[in-house]
Amino acid sequence: MKTAPRPSGAKPVISPAPADLQPEDWTNRRASEQAHRAATARQVSGRRRFVDPTTCERDYSGEEIEFMHAMHEYKKSSGRMFPTWSEVLEVLQALGYQKAESAESTVSSSIEAMSA
């Protein structure tokens, strides 16, 4: 079906919807069902947990709380919800942390202890 070209600047004519048009007539039932299934799966999976780690049952050390607050402030100031590892390292260095001389052996033994 060909339509006549509109003069430039002319607005398209939108005809009013028929009075008997129901939402079922223009809703994509398959897409709606798929979106509903996805939303239900997200709720059931527990992947999206909005838990503030500072309010958990665990007792955090002063250093851990200081680090969590520093990361929170970094996220607020940078506008980045998920900082990169390089940015995490920058926050740690800003707190005064430095790599120890024997860090390699300490990390290896810590990993071995966690996997045992």
* CA distances in angstroms from 69 to 75, 80, 83, 92, 100, listed in the order given: 10, 15, 14, 12, 23
How does residue 37 score in pLDDT terms, banded at 50, 70 and 90?
confident
CA–CA distance, 94 with 10 (Å, rounded to integer)? 60
Would residue 71 count as lying in a domain? yes
Q: Report pTM.
A: 0.43
| Domain extent at residue 70 | 59-109
Helix 62-78 and helix 85-94, axial crossing angle in degrees, nearest 10: 120
CA–CA distance, 38 with 44 (Å, rounded to integer)? 10
Question: How do residues 39-67 score in pLDDT, each as one tens digit?
Answer: 887 777 665 555 566 566 678 889 988 99
Would residue 64 count as lying in a domain? yes
Would residue 105 count as lying in a domain? yes
Give the contacts of 105 (CB within 8 A, at least 6 positions apart): none
- For the chain, the first-to-last Cα distance in angstroms comes to 73
Would residue 16 count as lying in a domain? no
Q: Is the pLDDT of residue 1 over 60?
A: no
| pLDDT value of position 49 | 56
Question: How do residues 75-114 score in pLDDT, each as one tens digit?
Answer: 999 998 899 999 999 999 999 999 887 766 666 777 777 7
DSSP code of residue 103 = H
Phi, psi of 25, deg, nearest 5? -70, -30
Would residue 20 count as lying in a domain? no
